[in-house]
Amino acid sequence: MKLSIEEHFTIVNQRTEQIINTTYKEEQESLLEFIIKRILINKKAADALDGFIYQKLLKTDQQQVKDKLMNYFPKGIVNLKSCSQIDYEPLQNLLMNESFKEADVLTNKYLCELVKTKAKVEKKWLYFTDIQFLPYEDLFILDFLWRTYSRGKFGFSIQKQIWIKNNKNWDTLWEKINWTNNGSMRRYPQEFEWTTQAPEGHLPLFNQLRGTQTLSYLFKNITW
């Protein structure tokens, strides 16, 4: 396997994916040792490559590999201990199993809970005035989980990158991340894609029907 233990992978490109898929067919144990060394021995933060390998190994039919994987990474490859007062393990579980639709719903629920904790007001969706109540650490965790378990394709920070690359043009952003169909907003949930075959930035969703101001404020808070 010709991949660096030390390299940081923000996205899993086609070539890297082919390497992992080939290795998975022949050397699942070496893939497991690769992420053990990167994350547990070298103490590197998990990235998109680690997430992709972990998701591949979750589907193994080799019992020895499965047992070892669960022994070293029983809840996933992102250590969420002491990260927040909110338990993000359910989101990690959904994302690592590629249940993106359910993860999207839960992400919105978490955002509303975070605002409620600070503002003491029940929320079902966010306004731009609510963004100030989202702690930096929690927003980072949510985004990090999405990036890690989507081959680096999904996350609020990915959406922001695409927005900036397109001169902060909202209509172009909607088109690039496939939130529109012939200029009209797609209907939820049937017209959205819930797999990693979707375009970069397609998930998580945000209620753009209420305008761009809320998402604009969210992007301002994303500085990583």
Q: Answer yes or no: are the C-beta atoms of 205 and 192 closer than 8 Å.
A: yes
Q: Please state, in angstroms and rounded to a whole number, the distance separating the CA atoms of residues 121 and 112.
A: 9
Average pLDDT over residues 187-200: 97
Domain-by-domain residue ranges, the chain?
14-72, 89-221
Question: Which of 40, 146, 29 shows the shortest CA–CA distance to 94?
Answer: 146
Is the per-residue pLDDT at 134 higher than 70? yes
User: Average per-residue pLDDT in the chain?
Assistant: 95
User: CA of 80: how far to CAs of 91, 163, 191, 203, in Å?
Assistant: 11, 29, 33, 21
Q: Please state, in angstroms and rounded to a whole number, the distance separating the CA atoms of residues 20 and 107.
A: 29
Q: Please state, in angstroms and rounded to a whole number, the distance separating the CA atoms of residues 119 and 135.
A: 12
Q: Please state, in angstroms and rounded to a whole number, the distance separating the CA atoms of residues 110 and 88.
A: 9
**Predicted pLDDT of residue 4:** 77
Q: Please, is 41 exposed, middle or buried when counting C-beta atoms within 10 Å of its C-beta (0-12, 13-18, 19+)?
A: exposed
Query: Considering the entire predicted model, what is its pTM?
Result: 0.95
**Predicted pLDDT of residue 82:** 63
CB neighbour burial string for 134-151, b if at least 16 within 10 angstroms, e if fewer: beeebbbbbbbbbbbbbb
**Predicted pLDDT of residue 207:** 78
Is the per-residue pLDDT at 208 higher than 80? no
For 157-187, write each residue's pLDDT tens digit.
Answer: 999 999 999 999 999 999 999 999 998 999 9
For 33-74, write each residue's pLDDT tens digit.
Answer: 999 999 999 999 999 999 999 999 999 999 999 999 999 999
At the topology level, CATH places domain 89-221 in: Arc Repressor Mutant, subunit A (1.10.10)
pLDDT-wise least confident of 38-47, 78-87, 116-125, 160-169: 78-87
Locate tokens 């809320």: which residue? 214
